[in-house]
Amino acid sequence: MQNCQAEIARALHVAAPFRDEAELAADIARRITFIQTTLQESALKTLVLGISGGVDSSLAGRLAQLAVEGLRAQSGDHRYRFIAVRLPYQHQQDEADAQLALKFIRADEESTVNIATSVASLCQEIGQLDSLSATRADFVHGNIKARMRMLAQYAIANATDGLVIGTDHAAEAVMGFFTKFGDGACDLAPLSGLVKGQVRAMVCYLGAPTALADKTPTADLEELSPGKPDEMAYGISYADIDAFLHCQPVSAAVFACITRSYAASAHKRQLPKTPCR
């Protein structure tokens, strides 16, 4: 079991557990530098990220803001900036959490794009949705929401000479818990390799309110199960996933769940297949 765990952890570039606060701080600094280097190498000036009110986008957003502030200080170029984008579908039930996240991030610019009308218009044009069961249609509809949100972020990035930041990390990657070409699409993923506990530790270190750091994660894409926790969808906890990725002992049931999800979602972590060798 542990050999398989180690192989998956290597493939996902899982970060080792932080031994102390100094290592945590050093990894935060490394990720901020990564964001800065990526933006400079692109010759662009703007970073764009959708803010949901969850811990992942809260951390990625704060790292992005610190990165552009550092670039402005280092270069004297005040064109570097970060745009935090709210992307609600109709009325978001946890809007208060999203506003709390924005207050924590302190972005240079905030923008809101309600995706409801665009999603509804697209769904009306897709006849194949009509024959689906309510549950299946709700699942497809949820993926459309995720892809519409990414479309909006890329439109803003195009309009402002920017790059789109993603929030994927190792705990979601191993479970394939992201929409292909939706929230899985981005230009840079600064949280890559982190487990969920490390994300929480980082956002706490940076001064996020406890309500954000400890918030129950949810993709909140399904209208038939609003606010459905990620862990309910998984059938296991993030603590289980973190332990697996850090090659710690896990139960046979947890091992089977994670390895099954990892294999089934392999296509999400790969580039499109081509006939070229």
Active site residues: 56, 172
Question: With contact defined as beta carbons under 8 Å apart, do 105 and 84 qualify?
Answer: yes
Question: With contact defined as beta carbons under 8 Å apart, do 153 and 35 qualify?
Answer: no
Please name the residues in contact with 143: beta carbons below 8 A apart, sequence gap of 6 or more. Answer: 179, 182, 221
Backbone conformation region of residue 43, classed left if phi is above 0, alpha if psi is from -120 to 50, else beta:
left
Q: Give dist(CA 202, CA 221) in Å, integer.
A: 26
The pair of structure tokens assigned to 135 is 């549950």
Q: At 142, give phi and psi (nearest 5°).
A: -65, -40
The one-character DSSP state at 20 is S
Residue linked to tokens 């990892």: 262
